Structure 1
């Protein structure tokens, strides 16, 4: 009888269910990831180093490109900005799940939280990194390349929509490659095909916001990016339990 009771005690309790419990667990995972990142500063240092290096190299190579206001020059400025954001994100966003594998906390996370909560917590963590990266990279481009933003509100909306698209497409890929041997290369190979379409739209929409235009001019690109976010986020949320429990 004692052996039966001890065996029952050893069985871990299932993660709590319900929307409120899932959101609480997601918030706990998000805070844990933020605390770990502030302690190690691996992803932050990687993202900042790449952003500073890219902005400095571009400024030394092309000079004050932002002073040119032709249509081609605005498109080039937007393309350089989003290329810097893309490659910096590809270097840092995979850490959200790779860290769990390296620290050997993946099994404990599986037992303590539902897959949906894990995905939401990691998604919010990656989104925070992308938004911080966008702010720093944009500031560097404005200062070093003398980029002039004609419509700040539309420009900010494009950055937010593009950041959401970038995060929604890459979070589940980070979970897929967590156990792979060549994580960085595999992450870029899997993520890039998914990001081609939103990247093109984000470049074209951001180029329009560098001119003095109303925000309704870029409603089309923003709607496309938000629709892309809804599709990829929903698909990732449905597929993540199979990836997480594999």
Structure 2
């Protein structure tokens, strides 16, 4: 366990240092979210937007930004030629855990920026802010676990970048559906919002837990083959 934790932390720190130097993923995520939100705001003009439309727009931005910006977890290793070194230096479970932790941090930052941007540009009623941010947090975990495993699968493909959103979208439909439902429930009163959102909350939490567990079980075969 000690070796696993130290290897996981080392992989995470390495990715964090490289990202702080290049800012490739951060730049892509920030530009996509900013451009999408501003485009939506200008497209709507003075049209009044309801809670349902605002919730759908928020999750479309989060899901597609994550599918585009989080796909470099293993592609960068292939580009730098450090994949073999990483295989020798750390066990597969620690490699995945470190990459997943880094993607979770990026996704939570993405969800925070998108959530705040949506509240500023397209304000709607929000009676249960705790449920609003809980939905974005759980959705971020499920999004990160799905895209991290797909990134490992597509790392050696020539068209890995365009392929990732195409393959990820069918897998992310349950996340998108339950995320929209939770965000819509957050527009109600605080007292009854959590009760009304129990089914969507359970679905989103189950999705995040299932994708993370399955990814851990499958990653060793993906990583070695």
TM-score by length of 1: 0.87
Which runs of 5 or more residues in structure 1 are unaligned?
A: 1-18
| Aligned counterpart, 1:133 | 110
1:22-77 deviation line (CA, Å, top 9, x unaligned): 01100110011011000000000000000000110011111366x65xxxx21110
Per-residue deviation, 1:148: 3.6
1:141/1:147 contact within 8 Å kept = no
Is 1:119 paired with 2:96? yes
Question: Number of residue pairs matched?
Answer: 223
CA contact 1:123–1:168 (8 Å) conserved in 2: yes
Aligned residue number for residue 224 of structure 1: 203
For 2:197 and 2:143, locate their aligned partners in 1 and report how far apart those are by CA, in whole Å: 18
The equivalent of 2:85 in structure 1 is 108
Q: Are the aligned partners of 1:101 and 1:179 in contact in 2 as well (CA < 8 Å)?
A: yes
CA RMSD of aligned residues (A): 1.3
Superposed displacement of residue 213, structure 1: 3.4
Report if aligned partners of 1:151, 1:209 keep a CA contact under 8 Å in 2.
yes
Q: 2:18 aligns with which of 12, 36, 43?
A: 36
Number of the residue aligned with 2:65? 88
Q: CA deviation at 1:227?
A: 1.0
Instruction: Provide the residue aligned with 2:162 in structure 1.
Output: 185
| 2:139 and 2:208 in contact (8 A); partners too | no
Q: CA separation in 2, counterparts of 1:158 and 1:57?
A: 24
Of residues 31, 49, 55, the one that matches 1:49 is 31
Partners of 1:126 and 1:167 within 8 A in 2: yes
Largest Rg, 1 or 2: 1
5+ residue gaps, structure 2: none
* Offset, 1:142: 1.1
Match of 1:9 in 2: none
Shift of 1:149: 2.2
Match of 2:217 in 1: 238
Alpha carbons of 1:184 and 1:49: their partners in 2 closer, same or farther (altered >3 Å)? same
* TM superposition score normalised by structure 2: 0.95
* Per-residue deviation, residues 102-158 of structure 1 (Å, max 9, x unmatched): 011111100000000000000001101100001111111111122342211111111
